[in-house]
Amino acid sequence: MTMPIATVKRESGDDRKVAIALAARALIVEKGLEGLRTRDIAERVGINIATLHYHVPSKEALIELVTENMITEFRAQSINRPRAHLSPNEQLEHEFADFQEMYDEKSDVLAVMSELIERARRDEIIRATILPVLAKWRSIVANLFALGVADGSFRPDLDPEPAAQMLIGAMVSFSRGPDPTPENFERLCAELRRAVRNPFASRN
């Protein structure tokens, strides 16, 4: 009798990279970038150092992988909560909702982003990787502010670029604060709304 040959589902290279990125994310949250060690990542993923280095041969490749993994999380939010058809006020509320959702469900993403932003001041590799992500986010927010100024939803004297920096800086700072509760986040959002909205415009 011929015995059937057992088939083993092999982990794809993409699956392995995701596992590496998630392990690195968790370790950054626990130990910071200073405490991130390749042997610890390999141990968590269940691979040897040689295999790890095959996928991420350098520090630059590892930081890029972690950053790409975070971008994937952000893109998933955009797909699940589209906003192109919405008014500027509604898009602003989406920004708040996305941030709160990320904090509630995947706070490690925000923690890692905050860590990378902090280290970017002193590390050229990290700076080159994380700054384009921040620039893209700032561009999205600045664009919605510009649309709001144009349609009268936001203050006519609002400068979109600095306003975008203000909003992003406030939310990132909140995630690192001593009391990041939903109630305090809503208080922050209320102040940001008041800072940008046109008090004479209807709420659409």
pTM of the entire predicted model:
0.83
Same domain for 36 and 135, yes or no, is no
By residue range, what is the domain housing residue 44? 11-57
Quick one: DSSP state of residue 154?
B
* pLDDT of 87 strictly over 50: yes
Q: Which of 59, 36, 199 is nearest to 44 (CA)?
A: 36
Total structural domains in the chain?
A: 2
Kindly indicate the confidence band of residue 154, based on its pLDDT and cuts at 50, 70 and 90: very high
Same domain for 53 and 67, yes or no, is no
H/E stretch holding 156: none
Kindly indicate the confidence band of residue 59, based on its pLDDT and cuts at 50, 70 and 90: confident
Same domain for 25 and 69, yes or no, is no
Kindly indicate the confidence band of residue 34, based on its pLDDT and cuts at 50, 70 and 90: confident
Q: Does residue 19 lie within any of the structural domains?
A: yes
Same domain for 66 and 165, yes or no, is yes
Q: Does residue 6 lie within any of the structural domains?
A: no
- Which of 117-131 are b and which e, b meaning 16 or more Cβ less than 10 Å from the residue's Cβ? bbbbeebebbeebbe
The CATH number given to whatever domain includes residue 100 is 1.10.357.10
Same domain for 171 and 72, yes or no, is yes
For residues 93 and 43, what is the distance between their CA atoms, to the nearest angstrom?
A: 41
Query: Mean pLDDT over residues 163-178, rounded?
Result: 92
Same domain for 153 and 96, yes or no, is yes
Same domain for 70 and 124, yes or no, is yes
Same domain for 67 and 133, yes or no, is yes
For residues 69 and 63, what is the distance between their CA atoms, to the nearest angstrom?
A: 10
Pseudo-torsion of CA 166, 167, 169, 174, nearest 10°? 130
Same domain for 68 and 152, yes or no, is yes
Q: Does residue 5 lie within any of the structural domains?
A: no
Same domain for 53 and 137, yes or no, is no
101 neighbors 68 (Cβ within 8 angstroms): no
Position 196, amino acid: V
The CATH number given to whatever domain includes residue 22 is 1.10.10
* pLDDT of 90 strictly over 60: yes
State the average pLDDT for the chain. Answer: 89
For residues 62 and 78, what is the distance between their CA atoms, to the nearest angstrom?
A: 25
